[in-house]
Structures are given as structure tokens and as C-alpha cells.
Amino acid sequence: MKEIFPLVPVLWAIFLLALHVAVIVRAILRPHRQPASRVAWVAVILALPILGLVAYLLLGETNIGRARRQRARDAWARLPELSATPGWAASELRPQVLERHVHLFQVGHSVNGFEAVGANRASLMQDSNAAVDALVADMDAAQETIHVLFYIWLQDHNGLKVAEALKRAAARGVTCRAMADGLGSRVMIASAHWREMKAAGVKLAVALPIGNPLVRAWKGRIDLRNHRKIMIIDNRITYCGSQNCADPEFRVKAKYAPWVDVLMRFEGPVVRQNQRLFASDWMAEVNEDLHDLLLQPMPHFEPGFTAQVIGTGPTVRNSAMPEVFENLIYAARESLFITTPYYVPDEAMQQALCASARRGVETTILFPARNDSWIVGAASRSYYEELLEAGVHIHEYEKGLLHAKTLTCDEDITLIGSANMDRRSFDLNYENNILLQDVEMTRALRQRQREFLADSREVTREMVEAWPLHVRFFNNALAMMGPVL
């Protein structure tokens, strides 16, 4: 027996070594991963033998869980194709896409199978409060269905206005379905307001519920979230943009307030695409078939612009969101204007933006001056020097946290939605965006972007070069961890 005990530490060391080698091999062989990500994870596992191993097992792979992945894919497959909708082939729905933009909508089609469709109209909401007022007015006028999905839903003035509108609608016989992310809206979900909505007849669902955190972590990553913001009224109206269901004061992070968002209200066949996106999320969590909702005949639409819904996430094809961004960046010929709160790009996106400025496109990116995520804020600034050297104009918004995720390309292409320009939106979160081709709406959004610009300070090469050595080291060190974050 005594001879066995000295062998225990040796056997344990051999086991740990074999386990680390196995995990390193797995990290290297994992498909759909950038080389920088492989190198970063191998370095973490080697530098932090036990901690790095645990970190990789918990956070190293985009693993939503086998059961959840299957449910999401089954829900999507069970829904009818929109081409089966009566009236979908009507002449007014045919898109009028300029030849130079055809490839942009082809990329969008490759994500969800949604075709570009014509006959859409939209209006740009003035601000967050006006957007909620418009949404509530539409909800109060609803006759058949109301569907809402939020990443963050707070118990503040705007959050409760929406909750009360749902209760009123349910009381008069409107079918109301409300879904909120299990992490971002956890306080609302646990509140009396959630229970009151259910008692009033509102159908409720939690997107990606966490349950027991320890058990959940081993079934799939806890930080894979449903970041979508989808609002649909009567299969006729939808909203799309960056706004959560909350006041701009955003009291859970009040020191960064106001949260500055952009939201658009849409009518037209693009609503039905957003409806399919919502239905797939709902059916992945609730045993309710929304098949018939998508087969309601299409109404007659007046002439309008071409648009397309793009919904991405961990159960959608790999690299969808960065491909959409990069194709839009390379499509710009005269001007490109981007607002995003979180910028931690992959190498291809960083080079695309640099190439845009180098070929003479007026390229402007607007970030918040104070970021609610100090890690992302610091990592973002590590990319400033290269962007500025290429000729990109960088500005930082100073009147709150600019949370808007918008892109305008030349004078007629707009992308608006929930996706940031970071790995979380690229790989980890469910996102929804609308791509549209229209001069009027693009000009309206570009004007809003210029208003943000007027409340911003320009960042120059001289300012970046003057940063202390420890600041530059800190920013670059955090950016190196981008593939791991």
C-alpha cells in the first residue's frame, strides 16, 4: 500500500497533462475559428494551467447546448416559407434593387433565406421616449396580435408603460405574446409586474432561461444571449433598432445616462420577415405553433422601398454578421458613417474600414466617450491608431452613452438593428437587423448621425500618440484578449 501512495501525485500530473493536451488539441481543431482565437486560447490554457482549462471549457466554444440548438433549428424548420404566404408574389412586393447593391441583399439572403422585398415604408423615431409613445399607441390600436421581444426590460417608466399596454390589449381580446431574455431582463421576469401581465392574459416566455447557473454552465454557455429587440403589431407594423424597453436614464447604469438609441417603425412585407424571426424564437421556448400566423394573406401595399430582415445568432450560419458588415463597408463609394457602442473587430473588419478610407471614401465612426463596459472601451481604443493612420474619422459622443447601432452607406443604403461590431454580436448573441435601400430614409438617418456628431469630440492622431505608455499597454493588452472575450 505504501508503494502506491507515491504514485498518486505522478498519476494525477499525468492525467492533468493529458487533459490539457486534449483540450489544446480540441481548441486547435475547433471549426469556424480565427487563427488568432486559437493562438489566444492555447496561450491562456498554457499560462493558466487549471484556470485556463476551466475557462476554455466554460467560455471557449460557442456552445448553446445540444438540446437548445436542436429546438431552435426545429422551430425554424417547422415554420412555413414566406413564399407560401398568399399574396407574397404580388407585383408591388417585387424589389427594385440597384445593380451595385444586388450583392448586399444576396449576402442577407444567405443568412435566413429572406428575399429582399419592396413596398416598405418607415419613419425614424425622434428619441427613446417618443419611440415608446409610438409603440404604445400602436399597441393600443392593435386588433389581433402584439408580439414583443426585448433583451433588457426594466421596471421603469417606459418599461411599465409597455407592460400596461400589453395588459390593456389582452383585456380586450388581443393575443399578446411577450418574451424577454433570461439574463438581461431577469429583474423584470422575477417581478410582480411579470406575474400581473400573466394574470391579465399576456402569454409570456423567457428567452434562454438560466435556471441553476452551475447546471446551466455545463449544458451550454450562460453568456449566449438573445439580444434582439423585436416589436410587431397585427402582422402589420414592426419596430427595429437598438432600443431596449427602458427609460433613457437607464437607472441600472445611471452614471452613463442618457442611453441614446435609434429606432425605426416599419410597415410593409418586411414585417412578415420579422414575424418569422419572432415566431422561431417563441417556438424554441414555448410549445405553441405559430404556423398559421405566417400564412395570413398579405394585404395590398402602396409602393415603397426595398428592405430585408437579417437575423443572426449561434444557431444561424457561422460568420453571418461580420460578413454583412464587411460587404457594406466594401460597397461604399463616397461615404460611410457608422455608430456603434462596442467595437472589438476581427482583423478582416478592421482592414475593411482602413481600406474604405484609403480608397477615398469619407469614413466616419462614432463611439461613446464613456463606455459602460470599461473592457470593451479600452479594447476599442487600441484600434484607433491604425484607423486614423488610414484616414478614418473617429469621434466620441459626449452627451451620454451612444447606444445606437447604425450604418449608412453613400446616399441610399442603411443598416439598423441590434448588432454591435464586436465578437459578442458576431458569434454569441441572437441579433436582428434590417437592411434597406432608400434615399429618403438613409438621408433621415444620416442627418441623425450628424446630430450625434455635433455633440461629439474628434479624436486625432496627435491625441492618441500622446496617450501615456501605460494606457496604450493596457488598451492593447485587453484587445489581445478579444478572441477570448
**Overall size of the chain counted in residues:** 485
Query: What does the alpha-carbon distance between residue 118 and residue 104 come to, in Å, rounded to a whole number?
Result: 15
In the block, which residue shows the cell 454578421? 321
Q: Which residues pair with 203 in a beta bridge?
A: 177
E-state strands within 251-300 = 259-260, 263-267
Query: What does the alpha-carbon distance between residue 383 and residue 476 come to, in Å, rounded to a whole number?
Result: 8
Closest CA to 228 of 219, 240, 220: 240
Query: What does the alpha-carbon distance between residue 291 and residue 296 come to, in Å, rounded to a whole number?
Result: 10
Nine-digit cell string for 164: 400596461
42 Cβ contact list (under 8 Å, min separation 6): 24, 27, 28
Catalytic residue list: 227, 229, 234, 403, 405, 410
Q: Do residues 62 and 30 touch, judged by C-beta distance below 8 A?
A: no
* Type of residue found at 165: A
Q: Kindly state the DSSP code that residue 257 receives in the 8-state scheme.
A: P
Give the torsion through C-alpha atoms of 403, 414, 446, 254, to 10 deg.
Answer: -10
The string over 310-322, giving b where at least 16 C-beta atoms fall within 10 Å of a residue's C-beta and e elsewhere, is: bbbbbbbeeebbb
Q: Do residues 92 and 306 touch, judged by C-beta distance below 8 A?
A: no
